[in-house]
Structure formats: structure tokens, C-alpha cells
DNA sequence: TTGTATGCGTTATCAA
DNA sequence: TTGATAACGCATACAA
């Protein structure tokens, strides 16, 4: 009642296991139609299934890839993961998925775990623009960065156009007449998505408002609701009649800001304006509709997986094609929250 | 420049690979402190890491489990997955995660794939209360159903208390004075979470309103916005002054209903009331706050993973403990959307 | 067209 | 306390 192995099938079919192995790997050219049919019939009737562990070990091809994501429970991550999964399914790869919580130590350990399991490549949402690099260097498999870049031209990446999209958003705010701009981000700020968004905001702010951009940037802990309320209260107090417009760098910040705005009894957009990352199904439902930036998260995942798998398939020839960085467009979805009535 | 293997370490340490293997598996009792230190030093300096594929093959313990989820991109699924991942990390198991899209065919294929990869157990969010069962029977590894039950007492499951929670919600609506109740669900209805919610609603409806519950149950396609709007328009038209109160069985239906309500320009709760699964961060932000049922999704995942892993660990003794069904409590979070002003 | 023999990198049973 | 040796299930070079 133990699991069937290749030898059992060989005996039942009165051939050697080599022939069975050939059959399993589709090498029908070295086989009479007769034995081929016989093997087929036996495999089907016995429901024999080859052990992938054994075949991976022997062939040195696990057909597994690693995926290190900051936190799979975040909605944008979940969508990105779905994109990766779908591509993996098509190519019959299995993704091994771990959350790193943006922790360098966990990230490094996970890379080791994945290598131990003989993954053929790794997709990673790096914890740090600089410090993550070390953990990825001198491994013998390809790495592709997803959603976040890393400060190195040795790695491929698939990201969204954070700077352009942020610029589009603040230009929109400015165009509407808002002059009291603020940005809310969470720490750490040494991940490319965040600092690029901050940079685009800062550049615009310096060019159009004034040089004192530091006081317009708020680093928050989205779980510390009281802190967020305090910052917003301050913004309103110092506004001198100029309606504050808040730009958030991700969904968590957005939710935190919206909750605070509600708690403080402020009206959007008459008392305060709010917009930013990420688009999600509730955005149109929250009065008066929240202006958001929609990223193509599914596509980021899918393209990254495609890229990684193509590199894996080329690996035999010691692929040394120059690393590429795919940048996917994001779109600004304008809703009532940023319509200026001042 | 190839990867180091156990033999390389054995040679460097002037011992046999048996000794290295013993060291790796912590069997220090059969080893002098001296060789133990020497091996430790060599492994550290060479950064040798054992190949898990080989050790899994030999020991017949892959330390991988399968996870079949309907759609990982849904927010509740992502949270559940996180619960599973966290428990797996603690016990050094790796989850192999696939989405099934509620498709029986995919589900069955995935089970085969997972078995091919020698997973030691499978967590599954079954596609069908009845038809899924066949694919799980007579496998040699434990299965645990997550979030959805299956019509069999051969399988463990970890779910939430759909009936109780739904009852609590409709009782609340009734208590508020709503008499024009409706339920919106998506197809298929042969998954336990959905039909249990429908059942609880129906029982209450028949007991308190009338026997004609069929006309109060709407099976929708959440992506078909026009259909949802049509149903709601109908509800309002036939309401004869009695405010309709809609209960939704999941997040997708909730979003779809809310979008339709907004599109139709209906006011909550004066023209229509809305409540249901699932709780999510926007619920309090949508005017006047949406009453929801909060499930402990993270806990469902975590408990299911714990259960599965404990069964795996007991497997050697041909575990035949009677299957259990853990039911986690959900809570009704009352907000403005269900406050009766009629 | 098919089979023999060897090895992938481990673990485990002996015996020493 | 240690080591030879034989597996685990499959793939492949080489022989026939």
C-alpha cells in the first residue's frame, strides 16, 4: 500500500525503468508505439505519479521559484502575488512565498531558506534600497526586484512610475488651486517606492511653493491614530485659510489619514483635501470620492514572473544579458476629494 | 565554483559524511566535542548549506504543505494566508500556495501537483461542499478544510460561525424595525459559507416575515453592476414605504451593492439599509458607516495550519483521532447603515 | 528500440 | 565515537 515508484511501473510493463523515464519525459522517439501504449495504459490504470523531489534532485531543476514579499496580507501585495501565481501556473513553476515584514534579517534568512530548497530564481520586494543588495549578490540564480528597486545595476526590476504618478497628482492639486500641500508617508523611507514619491513631491514643492519642504512631509506610524490626528490638527491650525491637501504614499497611510479626518469632523474637500496611493474599491464610495493613483499591481507581478522565468530558461547558456528595469504606468483617478472649492 | 555538498565538508573536516550528517541533524551525543567544534567551524567558514531536496527525498519528509485557496487576491484570503504563513514559519514548514478560482477541475489538478511534490498535508478552501470530497479521499496525508466545510466527517475543518453571525445581523435589522429584508449572494451557492448564511437568513425570514423567502434572495454576479442596480431598483420600487435592508454574504457583494446604491442616488439608511460580510477598513469611512460582520480570518488560517501540522507530526503513529471542526466566533459591528429612522 | 550502470546529496543501518 | 555502505526515486551516458 506504499506509493508506487518508477520501478513498479517498469516491472508491470516488462521494460526497464529507463524506458519509463523516457516515456515520462516525452522522449517517444526512442520507443515503439507498442511499448508506449502499454506504458500509457499501465500508468493510467495504476495512477502512478512520479516523485518530483527525486526528479528535481537528479535533474537539478526544481521548477520552484522564491517570492519574498513585505506583507502578503496587504491588498496590493495580494494582487501582485496573484499575477505571479498565474504566470507560474502557466509555466508549471511553483512559487514559495514568504513575508519579510520589511525586515532585513528575515529577508536574508529567507533567501538562504529558498536557496536550501533549490529554487531556480527569486522575486523579491526588497526591504532596503541599499542594505538588501548584499543578500542577493553572488548567488547562482537570477533575482528580479518587484515593485521596489535596489541601488545596483546587477538586478532586474519591475516597478511602477512612482515619480511621474506622484508628480501628476501634485500637479493636479496645484492646478486645482491647492497651495498648502503635505505628504504623509510611513517609515522606513529607504524603499524606492517611498522615497521616489517623496522626492517627486519635494521637487515640485520646492519649485512651486517654497524651499521649506521639510515641514510639509510627515512620517507617520499608520497604527498610531492619535499621532496622525495631531499632525492633521496642526496642519489645519496653521493653514490660515488655505485648505490643506494631503498626499499619501500608500494605502495604509491613506486609511489612517481618512480615519483621522473623519474623527476630527473635517469635511473633504472643503476643510481638507486627500489623495494618493492606492486605488481600491472603496475610493469612489467614500464621500465625495477619493482621488487616487492606481498601480498595475497584477501586471507588476506577472511581468516580473515572466522575466524571471525567461532568465531561468536561458540560464544554461550563462545568461549575461544586461539587467533591465520595466516601469509600468500608473494612472491618476480624479474624484471629488481634490476638487477645489476654495 | 559549484555548490558545496556534504562530502566536501567531510573531506575538509577529515571525517566521514555520516558524521557531518549527524552534526547537521543535531545528534551531538555521538560525537566528540572536538570534532563537533571542527565541523562547526568549517561549515561556518565555508557557508555550506545542506540541500533540502536531497534530505527530503531520503528522509521522506518534505516539510512542505499545500494550500489551495479560492483566490489569493481577495483581501480576506490574503489575511488568512498570512495566518497560515506565520504558523508555517514557526514550525519551519513551507506552504505551496495555489489559487483554484473555485474550479473543481483546477482543485483536483492542484491536489495531484501537491502530492507530486510530496507535501505532507494540505489545507484547502474547498470549491464545493459535496463534489470536492472525492479529490481528497484516500490520499495518505492529512487534509484540513479552511473557512469552508465539506459534507463528510472524514475531514477536519476550521471555519467561522456563519449561521450565528448571520442570525445576529438579521436580528439586529429586525430589532431596528426593518421588515423588508433581502440577501445578496454570489454563485456558486454550494460552498458552506454561502449556503449557511442563506439558510440562517431564510429561517429567520420564514419565522418572522413570511414564507415567501425566495423573492428576498438575490443571486448576483458582483461584476455585473447593471444587474445589481436593477435588483435594487426593484426592491425599492416594491417597498411601499418599507425601507429595504440588504444583507450581503461577502465583501464582493457588499462592494457591488454599495456601488449600485451610490449610483442610484439612494441614501443610507433613509432610503435603504446595507450590512453584511466582511469587515474591512473602509467600513467606518463610508457614510454613515457600514454595519459589518468581522470574521477572524487570520485566526482561521493560523488554527488550521496548527491543526494540520499537529496531524503531520502525529502521522508516524497512523493518527486516527476523530476529525474536529473548529468554529471561530464572528462579531457584528453596528454602524450607521443599519440604524432605523423610519 | 531498449537496458545496464551510475549518480544526484542526503540519511540510516550496520559494524568497527 | 566514528565510518563504510546502501538506500531514497529518478535521469542519463553508454552499451547493446
Mean pLDDT of B203-213: 97
**CB-closest option in A62, A77, A78 to B53:** A62
Computed over every residue of chain A, the mean pLDDT equals 95
Question: What is A6-50's CATH superfamily?
Answer: lambda repressor-like DNA-binding domains (1.10.260.40)
Instruction: Tell whether A72 is within 8 A of chain B (Cβ).
Output: yes
pLDDT at B318 over 70: no
Architecture of the domain whose range is B63-160+298-328 = 3-Layer(aba) Sandwich (3.40)
Measured distance CA(A287)–CA(B168) in Å, rounded = 29
CATH class label, B162-295+332-338: alpha beta
Mean pLDDT of A267-272: 97
Mean pLDDT of B212-223: 97
In what helix (H) or strand (E) does residue A74 lie, and over which residues does it extend?
none
Q: What is the per-residue pLDDT for B316?
A: 63
Q: What is the per-residue pLDDT for B119?
A: 98
How far is the CA of A174 from the CAs of A46, A198, A247, in angstroms?
70, 16, 12
Per-residue exposure over B211-233, b if at least 16 CB sit within 10 Å of its own CB, e if not: eebeebbbbbebeeeebbbebbe
Q: What is the dihedral of CA B117, B122, B125, B130, to 10 degrees?
A: 100
pLDDT at A294 over 90: yes
Computed over every residue of chain B, the mean pLDDT equals 95
Asked if A56's CB is within 8 angstroms of B72's CB, the reply is no
Measured distance CA(B284)–CA(B133) in Å, rounded = 39
pLDDT at A1 over 60: no
Q: What is the per-residue pLDDT for B29?
A: 84
Asked if A116's CB is within 8 angstroms of B52's CB, the reply is yes
Mean pLDDT of A61-82: 97
User: CA of B203, closest CA in chain A: separation in Å?
Assistant: 32
Nucleotide nearest to A31 (CA to C1'): C1
pLDDT tens by residue, B241-287:
899 999 999 999 999 999 999 999 999 999 999 999 999 999 999 99
With CA atoms as reference, the chain A residue closest to B281 would be A255
pLDDT at B41 over 60: yes
Residue extent(s) of CATH 1.10.260.40 domains in chain A? 6-50
Per-residue exposure over B45-83, b if at least 16 CB sit within 10 Å of its own CB, e if not: eeebebbbbbbbbeeeebbbbbbbbbbbbbbbbbbbbbb
Residue extent(s) of CATH 3.40.50.2300 domains in chain B? 63-160+298-328, 162-295+332-338
Cross-strand partners of A326: A158
Instruction: Tell whether B164 is within 8 A of chain A (Cβ).
Output: no
Confidence band, pLDDT 50/70/90 cuts, at residue B225: very high
Sheet architecture: strand order including A325-328? A325-328, A156-160, A143-146, A122-124, A64-69, A94-99, B94-99, B64-69, B122-124, B143-146, B156-160, B325-328
Q: What is the per-residue pLDDT for B317?
A: 55
pLDDT at A317 over 60: no
pLDDT tens by residue, B182-202:
999 999 889 999 999 999 999
Measured distance CA(B322)–CA(A202) in Å, rounded = 62
Check: CB of residue B75 under 8 Å from CB of residue A78: yes
Q: What is the per-residue pLDDT for A17?
A: 92
Output the DSSP codes for A175-220: HHT--EEEEEEESP--SHHHHHHHHHHHHHHHHHT-S-GGGGEEEE
Mean pLDDT of B55-62: 96
pLDDT tens by residue, A189-229:
899 999 999 999 999 999 999 999 999 999 999 999 999 99
Find where cell 460552498 sits.
B191
Name the pairing type of β-strands A291-294 and A331-333. Answer: antiparallel
Q: What is the Cβ-side half-sphere exposure of residue A211, based on CA atoms within 13 angstroms?
A: 0
Instruction: Tell whether B54 is within 8 A of chain A (Cβ).
Output: yes
User: CA of A170, closest CA in chain B: separation in Å?
Assistant: 24
**Could you count the other beta carbons within 10 Å of the beta carbon of residue A276?**
27
Q: What is the per-residue pLDDT for A318?
A: 58
Cell digits of residue B104? 473543481
Confidence band, pLDDT 50/70/90 cuts, at residue B46: very high
Amino acid at each position: 500500500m506504499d506509493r508506487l515508484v518508477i520501478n513498479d511501473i517498469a516491472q508491470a510493463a516488462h521494460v526497464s525503468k529507463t524506458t519509463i523515464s523516457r516515456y515520462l519525459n516525452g522522449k517517444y522517439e526512442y520507443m515503439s508505439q507498442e511499448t508506449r501504449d502499454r506504458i500509457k495504459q499501465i500508468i493510467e490504470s495504476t495512477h502512478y505519479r512520479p516523485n518530483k523531489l527525486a526528479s528535481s534532485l537528479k535533474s537539478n531543476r526544481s521548477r520552484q521559484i522564491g517570492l519574498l514579499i513585505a506583507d502578503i496580507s496587504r491588498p496590493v501585495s495580494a494582487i501582485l502575488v496573484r499575477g505571479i501565481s498565474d504566470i507560474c501556473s502557466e509555466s508549471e513553476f511553483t512559487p514559495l512565498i514568504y513575508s519579510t515584514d520589511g525586515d532585513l534579517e528575515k529577508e536574508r534568512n529567507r533567501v538562504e531558506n529558498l536557496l536550501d530548497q533549490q529554487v531556480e530564481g527569486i522575486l523579491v520586494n526588497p526591504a532596503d534600497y541599499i542594505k538588501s543588495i548584499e543578500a542577493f549578490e553572488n548567488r547562482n540564480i537570477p533575482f528580479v526586484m518587484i515593485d521596489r528597486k535596489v541601488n545596483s545595476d546587477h538586478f532586474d526590476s519591475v516597478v511602477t512610475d512612482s515619480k511621474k504618478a506622484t508628480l501628476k497628482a501634485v500637479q493636479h492639486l496645484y492646478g486645482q488651486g491647492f497651495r498648502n500641500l503635505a505628504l504623509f508617508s510611513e517609515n522606513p523611507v529607504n524603499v524606492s517606492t517611498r522615497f521616489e514619491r517623496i522626492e517627486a513631491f519635494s521637487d515640485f514643492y520646492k519649485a512651486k511653493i517654497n524651499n521649506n519642504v521639510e515641514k510639509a512631509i510627515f512620517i507617520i506610524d499608520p497604527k498610531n491614530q492619535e499621532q496622525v490626528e495631531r499632525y492633521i490638527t496642526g496642519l489645519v491650525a496653521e493653514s490660515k485659510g488655505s485648505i490643506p491637501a494631503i498626499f499619501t504614499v500608500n494605502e495604509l497611510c491613506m486609511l489612517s489619514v481618512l480615519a483621522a479626518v473623519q474623527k476630527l469632523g473635517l469635511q473633504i474637500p472643503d476643510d481638507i483635501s486627500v489623495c494618493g496611493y492606492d486605488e481600491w474599491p472603496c475610493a469612489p464610495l467614500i464621500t465625495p470620492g477619493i482621488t487616487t493613483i492606481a498601480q498595475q499591481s497584477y501586471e507588476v507581478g506577472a511581468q516580473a514572473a515572466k522575466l524571471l522565468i525567461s532568465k531561468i530558461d536561458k540560464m544554461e547558456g550563462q545568461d549575461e544579458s544586461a539587467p533591465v528595469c520595466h516601469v509600468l504606468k500608473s494612472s491618476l483617478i480624479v474624484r471629488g476629494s481634490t476638487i477645489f472649492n476654495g
